[in-house]
Amino acid sequence: MAAAGWEDGRVTSGSLPADIKRNRQLPQQGQASQQLQQLVLQALRRSQLFFSAALPRRIAPPMFNRYDAEHGDYLDDHVDVALRLLPDGERVRTDMSCTLFLSDPHEYEGGELVLRDSWRDEAVKLAAGDLLLYPGDKIHRVNRVTRGCRLASFFWLESMVRSEEQRNLLFRMDRDLMLLRAEAQGAPSPAVLGLTGAYHNLLRMWAQG
């Protein structure tokens, strides 16, 4: 990605003030972006954990950015827009925001993804290849990079289950069911079968086609 043709990240800032953001991005329709998008989407399709947590209905094409210490890159506090216009003219509701870290933490200083809450800020800096999913209505920022270069992919998704509370409940149920099935090491018990049925019935009730 270092040799790719980067452009000013403000081209996708929309209605945000120009000074809220200083970084670079790969052109959305460029060949490099399209090849990397397929790699990310293929990895997401293979991840049962991602599907269980997000229950994705539509995923916006992943985008790619870099924050360099040389330019003092940063992204100030903001909230992602509720609807993203896709290249095909359709729109995706941004129920969840996603950041895929592509640089290891030791490769740069600063650059934490900070999620604001009503009582504290949570700073996140994950290993390369790790993905953070968070509600699309969260106020968040990227701290200024003071050494090295931070590379990441970011995108949004529309979930089959719109309610955050319902998604979280289904995720907890699904994770517990996976643990119970692994512990059983054989045919599922009547209790596991019953809980599995309850999970899928809730999903039928809450999922939007």
**In the chain, what are the domains?**
7-159 (2.60.120.620), 164-206 (4.10.860)
Bridge partners of 91, per DSSP, are: 85
Which among 56, 167, 74, 116 has a CA at the least distance from the CA of 124?
A: 116
pLDDT surpassing 80 at residue 4: no
Give the per-residue pLDDT at 19. 83
Q: Please, what is the angle between helix 190-206 and helix 164-184, to 10°?
A: 160
Contact in structure between 94 and 134 (CB atoms under 8 Å): no
CA–CA separation, 174 vs 58, rounded Å? Answer: 21
Helices (H), 10-163: 31-46, 48-54
Predicted confidence (pLDDT) per residue in 160-179, tens digit: 999 999 999 999 999 999 99
pLDDT surpassing 60 at residue 59: yes
Mean pLDDT of all residues in 59-72:
96
The helices-and-strands tally (H runs, E runs) of the chain is 4, 15
CA–CA separation, 50 vs 171, rounded Å? Answer: 10
pLDDT surpassing 90 at residue 1: no
Residue 136 identity (one-letter amino acid): G
Give the per-residue pLDDT at 52. 97
pLDDT surpassing 90 at residue 88: no
pLDDT surpassing 90 at residue 117: no
Q: What is the value of pTM for the model shown?
A: 0.91
Predicted confidence (pLDDT) per residue in 171-209, tens digit: 999 999 999 988 888 788 899 999 999 999 999 999 997
